[in-house]
Structure 1
Amino acid sequence: MRFSLAAALALPLAAANALQIIGPSETSYWVQNTSNTITWQFSQGDPNPISINVVNANNATLNGVFAIAPFVNVSQQTFTVTNVTLRAGDGYQVQFVNASNTTQIFANSSTFSVKPAGTTPAPPVSASASATSSGASASGTSASGTSNSSSATATGAAHNSALSLTTSEGVFGVIAACGIASLSALLL
C-alpha cells in the first residue's frame, strides 16, 4: 500500500519530462545548403526554454558542438534551419540542452545524415498540423574554433501532451519516480 501510494504521487515527475525530438531522424535526413526542419513533442512541465545543438560522434565530420539556436520556446514544436553548412555525412544528432547550462541534455534525436547539396529533400515530419511563424537567426562555433553561421526561421505549433518513454529523459523520469517511491515507502 505504501509503495503504490508513493508511486502514484511520483508519476507526475515522469510525465513532466516528455520532450521528444521527432525529426530529423534516420529516415528524415538533412540536405546541405537548404532549409531543414527540427520537430518535437513536449508536455507541460518540460524544460523551457531550451537551446538546440547538433553533435556528431565522428570528429572528422563535426569537431565539437554546433549551436543552432539559443532560448527556443518548446511550445513552438518546430524550428527551421536555413542554409545548413554541415559536412555531408552520417551520425549527426540534434540535442536539446539547458539554455543556461549546455552540459545538461534534455533530449537527443535519433542519428541522421546530412546529404550533399542537390539531393532530393526527405519527406517532412511534423509535430502538428497548424503553425504560425516568426524569424530568428543562429550562428555557432565548433570546439575546433571554426565559426559556422546559418539563418533560421522558427515556426510554432499547438501544444501536444503525449507521455513518451522512448527518450532517455522519459526513462530517467520513471527511474527517478521509482526511486522516490521506494524512498517514500521506507520512510513511512
Structure 2
Amino acid sequence: MMRQMSALTPSPWVTRFAPLIAAGGEVLDLACGSGRHARWLAGRGFRVEAVDRDAVALELLAAVPHITLREADLEGGAWPYEGRQFDAIVVTNYLFRQRFPLLLTALAHGGVLIYETFMIGNERFGKPSNPDFLLRSHELFERVAGSCTVLAYEQGEVSAPKPAVIQRICAVKGHAPSLRLPPGGA
C-alpha cells in the first residue's frame, strides 16, 4: 500500500528493494523529476546518476553529494547511456516504451531494476490518461521476463498518496533464484 508522500519522500516500493543494490553501487534514476529517489539513494551511499529533461529540477540536486546530473531528452534525443551499465535502475511515474530495451541493456548482470508507474485504468483518476503513457496489464512483467528474475510484482488500484492504477516490479538481471527479499511490504 502506498502511503501519503511529499514530493521529496521516496516511494515505499523503492525503499523496500534498495537494500538489494550492491553497497556503494552506481544507480541510474531515470526521469528523476524532483530527485526524491536520487537524494534518498545518495544519502545511503550509492553513486547516483540523475537524468531528466527538466534543467530547473536538476539544478535543485546540484549540491547533493554522490549525485551526477545529466540533462537529456530521453524520448527525442540520443540514448545517453550507450555502453554504460548500472548496478541498479530506478524508474517511477515514467514510461517511454521505445527505450525499454536500452534500459535493460544499461542494467548490469546482477543489477536491480525497481520500476513503478501508471497503467491502463488510471485514466478514470486523471493524468496520465494517454494510453501511450499507461502500461498494459502485466506489461512490466512481460518486458523483463526474458532477461531478469522477477522478485516482486504488483498491479492494481491504490488509494494513496492519491487514487491511481499502477504496476510495480523489482527484478534482478540474469538468473537470481536465491536472493533474500527485504522485509516488509510497500
TM-score of the pair, normalised by structure 1: 0.23
Q: Which has the higher strand share?
A: 1
Does 1 or 2 have the higher relative contact order (CA < 8 Å, sep 6+)?
1
